[in-house]
């Protein structure tokens, strides 16, 4: 199977979907402490973008970052262990949901600071993002900025927060920009492949605005505190364009069922591994905070 094979793309969106559904259940049961920002509904973007990348390409994600980590190829078992705060987690349980990193597969890290390389519509009014656009364009840095426009920054609708357009921000710095259907993994993959080919040939940075819809809460805290900012009809319409079904419809039913079963087995094993893993020893709480060789400064510069 090639990296951009339709079956493989389906496997990725399905893996993220089921990983997230299980993670939400683990939050509800109290096993995952502190909650998560579910990526449900946006799976086609991470899957499509990462299908067009090489293993040695680097990505950074957002606070809604599980999908980016999984799509780039991190081990779901170690990712789940990370969410559960276990020593076997990708970051020994120290990073958790919003700081999962796996340098082995080119994931520099999910990032709780709004405005990383994958980013939401809420980031497009952040000054540091525009500064990054400027320097990337000026120095022709091969970076693909992927805006996952799910229509809201927490509860703030895009229309009430974004003047002008998202591609317009890139174009102001001379960067090519495309708007794509983020619910279709193959559309995202093809747009990414085209941009990445230009960038590898020295073309400089580009931006993709992927239009999507967040199926679940901004954060799982919303499951307890119902916030009334999306009309039921809007949510139903958004959910009707499901990236898992869109990609699944391209596969023979038997292939889809086989992938579904394989994903379930992978996640069953992942959960078993994670739950059987020890929590970090409190005595080591200060380990792995600094790169080896560096010591914490105690003040005085
Ligand atoms: C620099 C910064 N400002 C504010 C926040 C608080 N914050 C966390 S998520 C969020 C909304 C982000 O919305 P968006 O970028 O559209 O991403 P989405 O949550 O929709 O995926 C905000 C404001 C933050 N984490 N970082």
Average pLDDT (149-157) is 97
Mean pLDDT, the chain, integer: 94
- pLDDT category of residue 301 using cuts at 50, 70 and 90: very low
SS (H, E, C) 158-180: HHHCCCCCHHHHHHCCCCCEEEE
Average pLDDT (36-53) is 98
Interatomic CA distance for residues 111 and 290, integer angstroms = 17
Residue 122 CA to ligand 1 centre (angstroms): 6
pLDDT higher than 80, residue 65: yes
The pLDDT > 90 percentage for the chain reads 88
pLDDT tens-digit readout, 91-150: 999 999 999 999 999 999 998 888 778 999 999 999 999 999 999 999 999 999 999 999
Question: Which DSSP string corresponds to the chain?
Answer: --TT-HHHHHHHHHHHHHHHHHHHHHHHTTSSSS-----TT-HHHHHHHHHTS-TT--EE--SS-HHHHHHTT--HHHHHHHHTT-TTSTTTTSS-GGG--BGGGTEEE--SSS-SSEEEGGGTT-HHHHHHHHHHHHTT---EEEEEE-SEETTEEGGGT--S-HHHHHHTTT--EEEEETT-HHHHHHHHHHHHHHHHTT---EEEEEE----S-SSGGGGTS----S-HHHHHHHHTS-HHHHHHTTS-HHHHHHHHHHHHHHHHHHHHHHHHSPPPPGGGTTTTSS-TT-----S--
What's residue 295's pLDDT? 55
Residue 4 CA to ligand 1 centre (angstroms): 30
- pLDDT category of residue 298 using cuts at 50, 70 and 90: low
pLDDT higher than 90, residue 184: yes
Q: Is 65 in the pocket of ligand 1 (CB under 6 A)?
A: no
Residue 36 CA to ligand 1 centre (angstroms): 13
Q: Is 96 in the pocket of ligand 1 (CB under 6 A)?
A: no
What's residue 286's pLDDT? 83
Q: Is the pTM of this model over 0.75?
A: yes
What's residue 294's pLDDT? 54
Nearest CA to ligand 1 atom 17: 120
pLDDT higher than 50, residue 299: no
Nearest CA to ligand 1 atom 4: 114
- pLDDT category of residue 296 using cuts at 50, 70 and 90: low
pLDDT tens-digit readout, 219-244: 999 999 988 999 999 999 999 999 99
What's residue 297's pLDDT? 53
Average pLDDT (22-40) is 97
What's residue 300's pLDDT? 43
């Amino acid at each position: 199977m090639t990296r951009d094979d339709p079956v493989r793309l389906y496997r990725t969106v399905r893996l993220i979907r089921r990983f997230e559904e299980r993670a939400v259940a683990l939050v509800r049961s109290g096993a995952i402490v502190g909650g998560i920002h579910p990526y449900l509904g946006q799976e086609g973007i991470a899957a499509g973008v990462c299908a067009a990348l090489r293993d040695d390409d680097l990505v950074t994600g957002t606070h809604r970052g599980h999908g980016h980590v999984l799509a780039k190829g991190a081990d779901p078992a170690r990712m789940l262990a990370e969410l559960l705060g276990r020593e076997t987690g990708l970051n020994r349980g120290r990073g958790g949901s919003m700081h999962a990193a796996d340098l082995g597969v080119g994931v520099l890290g999910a990032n709780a600071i709004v405005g990383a390389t994958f980013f939401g519509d809420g980031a497009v009014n952040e000054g540091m993002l525009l500064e990054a656009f400027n320097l990337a364009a000026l120095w022709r840095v091969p970076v693909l900025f992927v805006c996952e426009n799910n229509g809201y920054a927490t509860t703030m609708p895009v229309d009430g927060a974004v003047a002008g357009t998202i591609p317009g921000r890139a174009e102001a710095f001379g960067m090519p920009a495309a708007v794509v259907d983020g619910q279709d993994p193959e559309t995202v993959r093809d747009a990414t492949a085209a941009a990445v080919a230009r960038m590898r040939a020295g073309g400089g940075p580009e931006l993709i605005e992927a239009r999507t819809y967040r199926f679940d809460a901004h954060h799982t805290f919303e499951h307890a505190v119902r916030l009334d900012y999306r009309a039921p009809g809007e949510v139903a319409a958004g959910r009707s364009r499901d990236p898992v079904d869109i990609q699944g419809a391209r596969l023979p039913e038997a292939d889809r069922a086989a992938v579904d079963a394989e994903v379930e087995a992978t996640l069953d094993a992942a959960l078993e591994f994670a739950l059987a893993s020890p929590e970090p020893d409190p005595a080591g709480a200060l380990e792995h905070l600094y790169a080896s060789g560096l010591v914490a400064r105690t003040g005085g510069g």
